[in-house]
Amino acid sequence: MNMTTANTARLLITCEDKPGIVQAVSSFLYHQGANITALDQYATEAQGGRYFMRVEFELDHLQSRRESLLQTFATNVAERYEMQWRLALVSDVKKVGILVSKVDHALLELLWRHARGGLPCEITKVVSNHPDLKEAVENFGIPFEVVPVNKENKREAYAKIDELMQGNDLLVLARYMQILDEEFVQKWEMKIINIHHSFLPAFVGANPYKQAHEKGVKLIGATAHYVTADLDQGPIIEQDVERVSHDFTVDQLRELGQDVERNVLARAVKWHLEDRIIVDGNKTVVFQ
């Protein structure tokens, strides 16, 4: 950790849009001696809508001043504007756990980017309901655990996974082909990111690429989203599509689709780690 990282923080704010918010926040940071390095904002309406802000700043001796900074901002700024807000220190490296089944493309993309320094986090472990990817994961120096899941042991299995994942800030479903237990999802509210294919029209069930081929789709894509109790209905973080034509085989559709999936998931995870996402109901504001 270099000195810049140690003294860098991000402030995320949501509130009713009112005059003076930008001035209040920037003035507060100025009087604290902070230097603003990035500021992004968004309002849902020209007047009277919801307001969202992400501010990144540097401040000497940030670690030792953290508590006083939080208390002072809460009293002098946040209460006045009835803000929902959080302060994240870049030096507090987020811990990430990954869930996967047998398909490896999304998992290996995350592990490779992490090994290359492209994902600012600590990947603590990978948990799977199958042993197939054990060697591939351990080659990256990351612990691998197998927790079988079936209809009879689902509650016990997710209690075990919850125990294994304690201490993590984020869980990533890298093509984990199980429906999560509702109680498990509630414990990790807005802390689980999933990836799934998103065809137009959408195809569910087995062999979606075969179904897409039979229907002659012209677009294939993927969606990364936060997980909620409603299957695949959580707030969307990122999406992408690729055009295809009538002469694509099922294997070519699958290969291209997996390429879209791995990139969409990696972007969504990176943006979460960089505190670029604010959840607003069933939508997200993503500052890029």
Which residues are tagged catalytic?
A: 232
3-state helix, strand, coil in the chain (%, to 5): 35, 30, 35
Q: How far is C-alpha 251 from the chain's CA centre?
A: 29
Q: Is 4 helix (H, G, I), strand (E, B) or coil?
A: helix
Gap between the Cα atoms of 168 and 186, Å rounded: 15
- Asked if 106 and 134 count as a contact pair (C-beta separation under 8 A), the reply is no
Find, among 193, 191, 195, the residue nearest to 264 by Cα. Answer: 195
Give counts: helices (H), strands (E), the chain: 10, 13
Question: What DSSP string runs through 184-230?
Answer: HHHHTTT-EEEEEE--SS---SS-HHHHHHHHT-SEEEEEEEE--SS
Rounded to 5 degrees, φ, ψ at 197 are -65, 150
